[in-house]
C-alpha cells in the first residue's frame, strides 16, 4: 500500500526544508539560498547549499542532492514511506493510503489540469481579440492595463453566454465539474460556471492554472467577484495565495530575511508588480489563514499586510500575534493613505506605494496608533479610557517583553503609571471603554472579497446620524436643511 500522491504533494508543500535541514546543519543565509557544512562528507568550508524556493539541497563537494524527503531518508536511515510519514507528522498532516484510489485521484487531477489550461487559453484569446470583449478591454485599459499586463497575468474574458466554453472543451459532465469550469443545469445541459466576467486566472505555486477569479463589469448586477468553487479538485482557497509563483523569487531576495506583501485583491498584486515590488500575493476572497502563513514562511519572514488589518477585529489580531511567535515572523502593516487600494495607488502615486511598504509599522504599533488616533485626550477620564482600550490591543500579544515596550508608550501618551498598567493588563474585567466604536467584531473570516472603503464616516452611519439628529434636535437642525 502506498501513500496517496496528493498527500505526498501536501507534505512536500507543507515542509520547510530549511527548518528540517537546520536540525542537522547550521545554515547561513547567502542571497537567496542557505549554506552550511555538508552533513554527507567532511569539510571545513561550506559547500552544502539549500534552495528554499525549489525545496532542494545540493552539495558542490560530494554532489549529494535531493529534497526534504530524501534528506530525512539519508540522515535518519528511513525508507520513502517512513520519511514521508515523519515529515507528515511534523506538518500535522494525516496521510491516506490506498493504491487503487491513488491512481484514480491522480488521473482525475491530470484531466482537470488539462481542462483548466485549455480554458485559460480560450478565455485569454477571447479577451485579446473577440468583438464581444470590447467593453472589457476598454474597462481594463481605463484601469491601467495595457496589452503587456493583460498577457503577463493571462487575463481572460468569459462571454455572456451559457455554454461557449463547455462546447469548446467537449469534456464529460464529471470532468467539467471536477475542473470547476461548469456544471449540468436543470435542463440536463452543460453550462459554464463563469459568464460575462473578466477573469483573473489563479495559479498554483508551480505556475499551473487551477482556478479563476471572475470580476463583473462595473455596471452589472451581482457580486463584484465570483471565484471558482472550492468543490473542484484543484482549488482550495484556504491554501491558495494568488500570485505566489510570480512572487516567490522576489520574496526571497527582499531584505535580509525575505519579505512578502499580502493584499486582498488581484489588482493590488498587479499594482505592486507595476511599482517594481513583485513580492505581493493576495488571499482569494478569504481571511488570511495559518496555512497561508506557513507557505509564506518558506520564502519570507517579514509579512507586510497591505490592507486594513484592523478591520478583522480582536480575535484576528490575537491569531496574528500567535503566528508571529509560533512561526518566527514579523507582521507589519503598510502605511497606506486612508481609503486607497494598492492597485489604485500604483497608478496615481507609485512612489507613495513603495514608501507605504518601506515605512510599514509593526502590527501592534499600527493598532495602537488607531486607538491613539481615535482617542480623546482632553480630560483625565477620557485619557483613562484611551489607556484601557490600548491595553486591550496590547493584551492580544502574549510576549511579555513586547507587551512591556508598548505599555511604556501608553503610559507616556496617557500620563499614567506603567506599573499600574502592568497589573491591569491581564485583569479579566478589563473591557473596551465604549468610546471606540471601531472595534466591533464583524463575522470572522467571512467571505469578504473586498474591504469596504475606509473613510472618515460611512454613509449609512452618516444618514442614520442625520435622521437621529433631526428627530432629537429638530429645532437646531431645521435651519440647516435646504428648503424643499
Residues contributing to the site for Zn ion (CB under 5 A): 38, 40-41, 59, 61-62
* Whole-number CA gyration radius for the chain: 26
How is 182-250 classified by DSSP, letter by letter?
EEE-TTS-EEES--SEEEEEEE-TTS-EEEEEEEEPTT--S-SEEEPPTTSSS--TTT-EETHHHHHHH
Rounded CA separation 317/180 (Å): 33
Judged by CB, which is closer to Zn ion: 39, or 362?
Answer: 39
Minimum distance of Zn ion from residue 55's CB (angstroms):
18
Minimum distance of Zn ion from residue 41's CB (angstroms):
4
Judged by CB, which is closer to Zn ion: 25, or 93?
Answer: 25
Residue 59: phi, psi to the nearest 5?
A: -105, 125
Residue among 246, 367, 250, 226 at smallest CA distance from 305: 367
Minimum distance of Zn ion from residue 151's CB (angstroms):
43
Rounded CA separation 429/340 (Å): 37
Judged by CB, which is closer to Zn ion: 62, or 469?
Answer: 62
Buried b / exposed e over 127-140, threshold 16 CB at 10 Å, is: beeeeebeebbeeb
The burial of 11, by beta-carbon neighbours within 10 Å (0-12 exposed, 13-18 middle, 19 or more buried), is given as buried
Minimum distance of Zn ion from residue 298's CB (angstroms):
23
Judged by CB, which is closer to Zn ion: 40, or 80?
Answer: 40
Judged by CB, which is closer to Zn ion: 56, or 95?
Answer: 56
C-alpha grid cell, residue 430 = 478589563
- Cα diameter, the chain: 91
C-alpha grid cell, residue 474 = 429638530
Specify whether the backbone of 255 is left (phi greater than 0), alpha (psi in -120 to 50) or beta. left
Judged by CB, which is closer to Zn ion: 57, or 235?
Answer: 57
Judged by CB, which is closer to Zn ion: 77, or 92?
Answer: 77
Minimum distance of Zn ion from residue 68's CB (angstroms):
17
Minimum distance of Zn ion from residue 35's CB (angstroms):
12
Minimum distance of Zn ion from residue 439's CB (angstroms):
55
Amino acid at each position: 500500500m502506498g501513500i496517496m500522491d496528493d498527500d505526498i504533494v501536501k507534505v512536500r508543500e507543507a515542509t520547510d526544508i530549511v527548518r528540517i535541514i537546520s536540525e542537522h546543519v547550521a545554515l547561513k543565509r547567502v542571497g537567496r539560498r542557505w549554506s552550511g557544512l555538508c552533513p554527507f562528507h567532511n569539510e571545513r568550508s561550506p559547500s552544502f547549499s539549500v534552495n528554499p524556493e525549489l525545496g532542494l539541497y545540493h552539495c558542490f563537494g560530494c554532489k549529494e542532492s535531493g529534497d526534504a524527503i530524501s534528506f530525512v531518508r539519508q540522515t535518519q536511515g528511513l525508507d520513502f514511506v517512513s520519511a514521508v510519514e515523519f515529515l507528515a507528522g511534523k506538518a500535522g498532516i494525516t496521510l491516506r493510503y490506498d493504491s487503487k484510489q491513488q491512481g484514480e485521484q491522480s488521473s482525475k487531477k491530470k484531466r482537470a489540469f488539462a481542462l483548466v489550461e485549455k480554458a485559460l487559453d480560450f478565455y485569454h484569446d477571447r479577451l485579446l481579440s473577440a468583438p464581444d470583449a470590447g467593453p472589457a478591454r476598454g474597462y481594463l485599459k481605463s484601469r491601467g492595463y495595457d496589452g503587456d499586463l493583460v498577457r503577463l497575468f493571462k487575463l481572460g474574458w468569459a462571454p455572456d453566454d451559457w455554454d461557449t466554453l463547455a462546447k469548446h472543451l467537449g469534456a464529460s459532465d464529471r470532468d467539467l465539474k471536477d475542473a470547476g469550469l461548469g456544471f449540468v443545469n436543470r435542463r440536463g445541459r452543460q453550462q459554464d460556471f463563469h459568464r460575462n466576467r473578466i477573469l483573473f486566472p489563479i495559479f498554483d505555486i508551480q505556475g499551473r492554472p487551477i482556478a479563476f477569479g471572475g470580476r463583473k463589469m462595473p455596471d452589472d448586477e451581482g457580486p463584484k467577484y465570483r471565484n471558482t468553487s472550492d468543490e473542484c479538485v484543484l482549488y482550495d482557497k484556504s491554501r491558495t495565495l494568488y500570485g505566489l509563483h510570480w512572487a516567490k523569487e522576489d520574496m526571497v531576495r527582499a531584505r535580509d530575511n525575505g519579505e512578502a506583501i499580502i493584499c486582498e485583491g488581484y489588482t493590488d498584486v498587479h499594482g505592486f508588480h507595476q511599482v517594481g515590488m513583485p513580492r505581493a500575493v493576495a488571499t482569494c476572497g478569504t481571511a488570511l489563514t495559518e496555512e497561508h502563513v506557513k507557505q509564506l514562511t518558506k520564502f519570507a519572514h517579514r509579512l507586510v499586510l497591505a490592507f486594513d488589518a484592523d478591520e478583522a477585529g480582536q480575535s484576528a489580531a490575537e491569531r496574528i500575534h500567535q503566528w508571529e511567535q509560533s512561526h518566527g515572523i514579523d507582521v507589519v502593516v503598510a502605511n497606506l493613505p486612508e481609503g486607497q487600494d494598492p492597485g489604485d495607488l500604483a497608478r496615481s502615486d507609485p512612489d507613495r506605494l513603495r514608501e507605504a511598504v518601506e515605512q510599514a509599522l509593526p502590527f501592534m504599533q499600527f493598532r495602537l496608533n488607531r486607538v491613539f488616533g481615535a482617542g480623546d485626550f482632553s480630560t483625565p477620564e477620557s485619557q483613562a479610557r484611551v489607556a484601557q482600550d490600548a491595553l486591550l490591543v496590547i493584551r492580544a500579544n502574549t510576549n511579555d517583553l513586547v507587551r512591556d515596550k508598548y505599555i511604556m508608550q501608553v503610559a507616556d501618551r496617557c500620563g499614567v503609571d506603567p506599573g499600574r498598567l502592568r497589573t491591569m493588563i491581564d485583569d479579566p474585567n478589563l473591557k473596551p471603554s465604549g468610546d471606540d466604536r471601531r472595534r466591533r467584531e464583524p463575522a470572522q473570516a467571512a467571505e469578504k472579497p473586498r474591504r469596504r472603503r475606509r473613510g472618515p464616516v460611512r454613509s449609512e452611519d452618516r444618514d442614520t446620524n442625520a435622521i437621529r439628529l433631526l428627530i432629537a434636535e429638530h429645532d437646531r437642525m431645521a435651519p440647516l436643511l435646504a428648503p424643499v
